[in-house]
Amino acid sequence: MKRELIVANSSSRSIRKEGLEYILKQYFGHSGFRGKQLEAIEAVLSGRDCFCLMPTGGGKSMCYQIPALATSGIVLVVSPLIALMENQVTALKAKGICAEFLSSMQMSHTKEKIHEDLTSGKPSIKLLYVTPELLATVGFTAKLLKLYNRGMLSLIAVDEAHCISTWGHDFRPSYRKLSSLRVHLPDVPIIALTATAVPKVQKDVIDSLQLRHPLILRASFNRPNIYYEVRFKDLLGNAYTDLLSLLQSSGEVCSIIYCLERSTCEDLASHLLKNGISSAAYHAGLNSKMRSKVLDDWLSSRIHAVVATVAFGEDVRFVCHFNIPKSMVAFYQESGRAGRDQRTARSVLYYGLDDRKRMEFILNNDANMKPQSLPSDEFLRKSLADFKMMVDYCEGSGCRRQKILQSFGESASASLCQKSCDACKHPILLSTSLAELERIGGISKKGGLAPVFLQR
């Protein structure tokens, strides 16, 4: 289906490029496209499917937001997290762009207003965000078909597309149902976007969504503006105190502290608050009113540090993991929330042997307890292998950046880092710490597993 272009009907590529750059500047204030953005935008505008592999903060959303403004129709965005949809819609509205999101959690009058606009002769909505669960309902499919038959649907963007794959770190069964999009809406181009680079995931996404000869765009995963660092809990007197002084010395910058459990979030947030850091806990146990309040307080800078178990936040300078994440992919996604504006940012991971044991216990348990898409022994093998990479990131003495990139199958020379990780900046300090950890591990009375480095 040929898209109706608002920016320029001319077939000349340079004129169309100018028009797209004009939209980018006018609405988003950016002076030029970054990386592969223009290629992705031009592909979908010409009606071609696209698979877009860009790192966190790489500017994926522009690849469907610009087409929404450059065509007369509506762009449907499938997104897995209500908090992320809410974030994006709020940010778009602040720029004067008509965007809405639909989820089962919304008030019925809000939903009705959105449906009214969609069924009107000339909808004002340019971007409509929905959850995959909603998309799978018969009622919503019928509404979508009506839009499609009126020629109002210009593009479908599947964000966080790795959720489709059982090989991805965040498999969501409802994402599987997105395969019906191609069946119901055969002429609408689809752009799948992800920051997960595993080849099996890429194949799964392309097959499941039935993408037709998609343009495959792949950008480097290096985030040169993030400084990576690991701090060893077992060598610190008190990790809470260490984190507190880290936050105090950073000034009032926006920070996220990821924790494994809700109770740790609550404890840490109140500890920080008592010590003068404006902070709040954010996790799935809070009701939607509380969550919105935290988001509001964050956006209006009333709080600077959010202690979370789940994805949160934009424009963050400092991301801390107070407990080791379960995989490199999870770590990359979460630490990648820092420095999305390309300015310098910092990632600090607090690593402790107890945390490592706890995660190994959780992964073993998960494999036995949860119904999985893979057989449980295969699932366990995969999740322990994913976790081992994360442990190696913490316990190894080599460049952290190189380890991240290698885990995504990207070759990276040691010189790439430019001393922007603790291993490259302070190699002697790190090897002293590792030796000390090894010594403690050797006399550990904590029982359980011995540290990995003793087994090497």
Ligand X SMILES: Nc1ncnc2c1ncn2[C@@H]1O[C@H](COP(=O)(O)OP(=O)(O)OP(=O)(O)O)[C@@H](O)[C@H]1O
Q: Report the interface residues with ligand X, using CB under 6 A.
A: 30, 33-34, 37, 54, 56-62, 195, 336, 340-341
Residue 370's contacts (CB-CB under 8 Å, 6 or more residues apart) are: none
Q: Which is nearer to ligand X, 30 or 446 (CB)?
A: 30
What's the min distance (Å) between Cβ of 211 and ligand X?
A: 19
- CA atoms within 13 A of residue 125's CA, in its CB half-sphere: 25
What's the min distance (Å) between Cβ of 193 and ligand X?
A: 7
Structure tokens at 296: 């509001």
Please list the alpha-helical segments (H only) found in 168-304: 173-176, 180-184, 199-208, 239-250, 262-274, 288-299
What's the min distance (Å) between Cβ of 81 and ligand X?
A: 10
Q: Which is nearer to ligand X, 40 or 430 (CB)?
A: 40
Q: Residue 53 and residue 290: Cα distance in Å, rounded?
A: 34
**Can you give 106-129 as a three-state secondary structure string?**
CCHHHHHHHHHHHHCCCCCCCEEE
What's the min distance (Å) between Cβ of 342 and ligand X?
A: 7
Query: Residues 92, 127: contact at Cβ < 8 Å?
Result: yes
How far is CA 87 from each of CA 44, 81, 146, 312, rounded to the nearest angstrom?
24, 10, 28, 9
Q: Which is nearer to ligand X, 343 or 370 (CB)?
A: 343
> Using a CB cutoff of 8 Å and minimum separation of 24, what contacts does 12-18 make?
13/42, 16/42, 16/45, 17/42
Q: Which is nearer to ligand X, 78 or 437 (CB)?
A: 78
Q: Which is nearer to ligand X, 224 or 398 (CB)?
A: 224
Residue with tokens 């949809």: 85
What's the min distance (Å) between Cβ of 400 and ligand X?
A: 20
Q: Which is nearer to ligand X, 53 or 102 (CB)?
A: 53
What's the min distance (Å) between Cβ of 30 and ligand X?
A: 3
Residue type, 396: G
